[in-house]
Amino acid sequence: EAGVVQSPRYKIIEKKQPVAFWCNPISGHNTLYWYLQNLGQGPELLIRYENEEAVDDSQLPKDRFSAERLKGVDSTLKIQPAELGDSAVYLCASSPRGAGDTQYFGPGTRLTVL
């Protein structure tokens, strides 16, 4: 069974530029998560989807971050414009059902904003 796929693995951009991350969850997993992880910290939830519905986006900075999961499968997270403080690893995870279920993480995208 293929795991969670993310791309790109690394991204370097200048501040104020836009950037987008893509995630394809494990087949059959209805729940998809985007997390942000800073160095030395645990992952912090940005947004959770149940199928195509964003059921928890309370931690998503909506002035610059947006996400979509149009067909309830793969998802895109966008930042526009990027700021220096956005440098972090962006992790995508999926689970068969809700948050009480085991989450499986993708390899992450390491973003560096210069």
Q: Are 36 and 46 in contact (CB under 8 A)?
A: yes
- Per rule CB under 8 A, is residue 107 in the interface with another protein? yes
* Nearer Cβ to another protein (56/68): 56
6 bridge partner residues: 23
Phi and psi at 91, nearest 5°, equal -105, 140
Phi and psi at 85, nearest 5°, equal -70, -5
Kindly write out the interface string for residues 35-74 of this chain, putting x where it contacts another protein by CB under 8 A and - elsewhere: -----xxxxxx--x------xx------------------
Determine which residue in the list 61, 83, 98, 112 makes contact with another protein, applying CB under 8 A.
98
Rounded Cα–Cα distance for residues 47 and 78 (Å): 12
- Per rule CB under 8 A, is residue 91 in the interface with another protein? yes
Kindly write out the interface string for residues 5-34 of this chain, putting x where it contacts another protein by CB under 8 A and - elsewhere: ------------------------------
- Per rule CB under 8 A, is residue 106 in the interface with another protein? yes
Chain positions contacting another protein, by CB under 8 A = 40-45, 48, 55-56, 91, 98-100, 102-108
